[in-house]
Amino acid sequence: MSAATATITAPAKAAAADEGRIGLRANLRHIGALARRNMLQIKQDPESMFDAVLMPVIFTLLFVYVFGGAVAGKGNQQEYVNYVIPGLMAMMGMNISMAVGSGVNDDFRKGVMDRFRTMPIARSSVLIAKIVVELGRMMIAIAILLGMGFALGLTIHTDVLHLFGAIALSAVFGASLMWIFILLGLAMKTPQAVQGVAMLVLMPLQFGSSIFAPPTTMPGWLEGFTKVNPLSNLADAARAMINGGSYAHPVWITLAWSVGITVVTMPLAVARFRKRT
């Protein structure tokens, strides 16, 4: 091996060796630094927040005033607000999660990951930092969604703790989905390809669920699909926690989906990331 090649590969080998010796405190510090870096990117490119800020407004107005009359009856849009807003919380988490895959893919395309390769940091900290920032964007989107809901007549029939529980459940499920999109971002060649494949997954899951309409109005085969659709369980859990009713079963099902998705996709994503870096 030539001296030039040895010079190039030495930092990468040193980083790989140091990763195994990085402690929890150092790992958390790296995650914090990388999260700040991602937030500075958002500050320099405020247009990247358009989806988190505008999507809740557009979707709320669109579904309440287009679908509300058909589902709840003409003139009963306010009743539909209490049905659809908890469902849209699940939808927000899924749509915001998609952005993390495009961001990872774009960082590779711009060569940012070449810089991280030479640094003595845990490879997982790069991905976890992105998830932390995307969770922040998700909370902003959900806050705007709830603000729109309250403006249109959303009523909390339980209490604030149950509302926070619904928000936390949406965040947990959204975080698990981010590992799927990170894996897509590492596997696809361009951010556009990531978005295209993600939409093919998102559309059937979103509209084949109980987010917008009760499954009892659907054909039998589609109603069966909605029952196993994790978005339906999340929407039903959030709806029960806000409007009242039994929510234990859909909550446990949603948590089981979240854990299962994370356990399967997180190691695959980290392994793929290490292979590419």
Q: What is the pLDDT of residues 188-220, one digit of tens each?
A: 888 888 888 888 888 888 888 888 888 888 888
Percent of the chain with pLDDT over 70: 84
Structure tokens at 144: 């705007």
Q: Give residues with Cβ within 8 angstroms of 61, minimum separation 6.
A: 148
pLDDT band at 18 (very low <50, low <70, confident <90, very high): very low
Supply angle C-alpha 12, 18, 23, rounded to 5.
Answer: 145
Supply angle C-alpha 214, 208, 72, rounded to 5.
Answer: 25
pLDDT band at 6 (very low <50, low <70, confident <90, very high): very low
What pLDDT shows up at residue 171? 93
Looking at every residue in the chain, the average pLDDT score rounds to 82
Q: What number of other Cβ atoms are within 10 A of residue 211's Cβ?
A: 27
Report residue 205 CA to chain centroid gap: 14
Q: What are phi and psi of 267, to 5 degrees?
A: -60, -35
Q: What number of other Cβ atoms are within 10 A of residue 189's Cβ?
A: 10
Least confident of 70-79, 152-161, 212-221, 263-272: 70-79
Tens-digit pLDDT profile for residues 93-110: 888 888 888 888 887 777
Q: What is the pTM of this model?
A: 0.83
**Entry field: residues in the chain:** 277
Helix-helix angle 220-228:230-243, to 10 degrees: 80
DSSP string, 156-181: -SS-HHHHHHHHHHHHHHHHHHHHHH
Q: How many domains does the chain have?
A: 1
* C-alpha–C-alpha distance, residues 42 and 136, integer Å: 12
Q: What are phi and psi of 158, to 5 degrees?
A: -110, -105
- Are 56 and 92 a contacting pair, CB within 8 Å? yes
For the residues 51-63, what does the mean pLDDT come to?
88
What pLDDT shows up at residue 98? 82
What pLDDT shows up at residue 73? 64
Tens-digit pLDDT profile for residues 118-135: 666 777 788 888 888 889
Give me the domain span that covers residue 154.
Answer: 3-276
What pLDDT shows up at residue 114? 64
Least confident of 20-34, 155-169, 227-241, 258-272: 20-34
Structure tokens at 164: 């926070």
What pLDDT shows up at residue 8? 36
- Who wins on pLDDT, 117 or 3? 117
